[in-house]
Amino acid sequence: MKTLNIFILVLCCLIAACSHAPDPIRYGQDACTHCKMTIMDKRFAAELITAKGKVFKFDAAECMAGFLKENPAIAEDVKSVFLVNDFSRPGQFADARKSFFLRDSSLSSPMGGNLAAFLSLPAAEAAKKDKSAEVYDWSMLLSKNK
């Protein structure tokens, strides 16, 4: 019986270690994996969960894109999970692959990329304030960072 309990405990630990659930960002405490700045703004933060369940936190989508440029194997792994905060609903993660990204001079993202994520194309288009603003999908954002 004792052996069975130990086996179940080890199995639970292994399952928990391979989780693909987001790890809540502790704003004002967690540091950005890429630039090392403290993550402060819920409107711009992002998170990456690798296929092995390792979590990387970022203060902005541009930092996550920069990290992926340096780590192309993670970027190309279909099992990686990329999460961004919806600018319209700060603190709520959305799938970056399904999101749209607005680069607009009126946005003051933490690293100066003036980049914010939105759940829909109409929401991103509606948030444009600068005539030169551009909207990208995930693949376009990553290709611009290459």
Return phi, psi of residue 5, to 5°.
-65, -40
17 occurs within a structural domain:
no
What's the pTM value of the predicted model, to 2 decimals? 0.83
Take residue 23 and report the two structure tokens written for it.
């790890």
Which pLDDT does position 108 carry in this prediction?
Answer: 87
72 occurs within a structural domain:
yes
- Give the domain extent around 78: 26-143
10 occurs within a structural domain:
no
Average pLDDT across the chain, whole number: 88
Backbone φ/ψ region at 28: left (φ over 0), alpha (ψ -120 to 50), beta = left
Domain count, the chain: 1
16 occurs within a structural domain:
no
- Average pLDDT on 10-22 reads 57
Residue 112 binned pLDDT confidence (cut-offs 50, 70, 90)? confident
